[in-house]
């Protein structure tokens, strides 16, 4: 799914998150409504090429390992354009997810 910046809706603090439908690195389609019933949902806007994001991969895995048994669900969304950032291509995202 490609969303042009001109189509993006600016949210204010307290607004409900808009639903989405995105293909995951697991090959499944994920949507906000698909996480209904989760006790908590952490959505991380991330990418493969950013060293600041890379530095947090292990911490994100720790958070998931600690809290998933308590009902935390976690989703990462890569908003980058793979044409401008080839390391953020879908195939690269699958490789990083598998690591």
Domain count within the chain: 1
Q: Which domain holds residue 72?
A: 39-99
- As given in the structure block, the two tokens for residue 34 are 């698909």
| Residue 61 forms part of a structural domain | yes
| Residue 73 forms part of a structural domain | yes
| Residue 96 forms part of a structural domain | yes
| Residue 68 forms part of a structural domain | yes
pLDDT (tens digit per residue) in 45-70? 999 888 999 999 999 999 999 999 99
User: Has this prediction a pTM greater than 0.85?
Assistant: no
| Residue 14 forms part of a structural domain | no
| Residue 63 forms part of a structural domain | yes
Q: Is the pLDDT of residue 77 over 50?
A: yes
> Strand pairing of 40-45 and 72-77?
parallel
The CA-based dihedral angle spanning residues 47, 21, 4, 94, taken in that order and rounded to the nearest 10 degrees: 30
| Residue 77 forms part of a structural domain | yes
| Residue 79 forms part of a structural domain | yes
């Amino acid at each position: 799914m490609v969303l042009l910046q001109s189509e993006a809706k600016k949210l204010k603090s307290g607004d409900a998150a808009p639903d989405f439908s995105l293909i995951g690195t697991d090959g499944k389609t994920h949507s906000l409504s698909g996480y209904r019933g989760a006790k908590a949902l952490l959505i991380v806007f991330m990418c493969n090429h950013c060293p600041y994001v890379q530095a947090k991969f292990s911490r994100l895995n720790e958070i998931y390992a600690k809290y998933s048994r308590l009902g935390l669900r976690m989703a990462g969304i890569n908003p980058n354009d793979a044409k401008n950032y080839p390391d953020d291509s879908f195939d690269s995202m699958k490789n990083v997810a598998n690591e």
